[in-house]
Amino acid sequence: MDFKDKTICVFGGTGTIGSLIVEYLVTQKPYSIRIFCNVENELHECKQKWGVDEPYRYLLGDIRDYRRVKRALKGVDYVFNAAAIKHVPEAEYNPIEAVNTNIIGLDNIIEGCVIHEIEKLLHISTDKAVEPTTLMGATKMISERLLQMRWAQNPEIKMVIVRLGNVYGSRGSVIQVIREQKEKGQSITVTNPDMHRFFMMPSEVTEFIMKAFNGNGEGEIWVPKLEESNLMDVLRKEVGKDYPITIIGNRKGEKLHEKLLTDYERSISLISINEWVIPNIGW
């Protein structure tokens, strides 16, 4: 996909994944990148980091506010949605907020894309959407099916989903937490030594998102092929084998093993060397 001279809106553009998208897009010489975020301080920090000259535009707003979303999308060619409530405990304790952001917020974006006849929308999902046991995972599962349904109603707008694993070292992630604990000289806290997760390096995330963006855009879900990692092995590489670790127990609804696909999705996926592509099956 050619981004040169295009206007692009990145919802959640100050977060880990949103920032990766912005930093790639700026190398492609777009006309404008609209960085949309609901946290004033994060926008301010990004201004300090990236500057205020072209192509950057900084938009304060919330995807739960349809009027603000619709205004932000006027004149836009392409849209990336990386905005979400992503932390499991916060979603469990604030379920309506998770629903309003992860489901209603996405629907607002889709509706804005339809109104303004946007060319293409890419939505970021997570492996926690597969057979979810937490509210956050459930909202992301619904968001995937919502986008597929809305594409079926509006096939003139290209839409695609990317289902990612954990971004290694991302803000608020377990890797960031243990690095901060080590820096403070604290014992590293681990929920369960048998915990396994799928990790992706930031450069892999950017490459995969852009590959998916170049796909058909028919409501399909792109899923990277990843090797599952034991969390204890990962942590030991970060802090050393002799560093003290405290086991604190599983959080509510937390799985020992995540999945990238359901059994049914695996049976219908288009398979290549590096990814699965799940076609829109008309939920």
**Domains, the chain, with CATH or none:** 7-166+200-226+259-278 (3.40.50.720)
**CA 166 to the chain's CA centroid:** 9
Mean pLDDT for 20-41 is 98
Contacts with 41 (C-beta within 8 Å, 6 or more apart), sequence order: none
Q: Which two tokens stand for residue 15?
A: 């977060």
The whole-angstrom separation of Cα 166 and Cα 145 is 21
Q: Report pLDDT digits (tens) over 157-207.
A: 999 999 999 999 888 788 888 899 998 999 988 889 899 999 999 999 999
Q: Which two tokens stand for residue 267?
A: 């049976």
What is the percent of the chain where pLDDT is above 90? 84
Q: Report pLDDT digits (tens) over 138-156.
A: 999 999 999 999 999 999 9
128 is catalytic: yes
**Helix residue ranges per DSSP H, 191-281:** 202-213, 231-239, 263-268
Q: What is the greatest pairwise CA distance in the chain? A: 58
- For the entire predicted model, the pTM comes to 0.95
CB atoms within 10 A of CB 276: 19
**In this structure, are residues 8 and 37 in contact, taking their beta carbons and an 8 Å threshold?**
no
What three-state secondary structure class fits 215?
coil
From 6, 86, 120, 128, active-site residue: 128
Task: Give the least confident one: 87-101, 117-131, 179-193.
Answer: 179-193
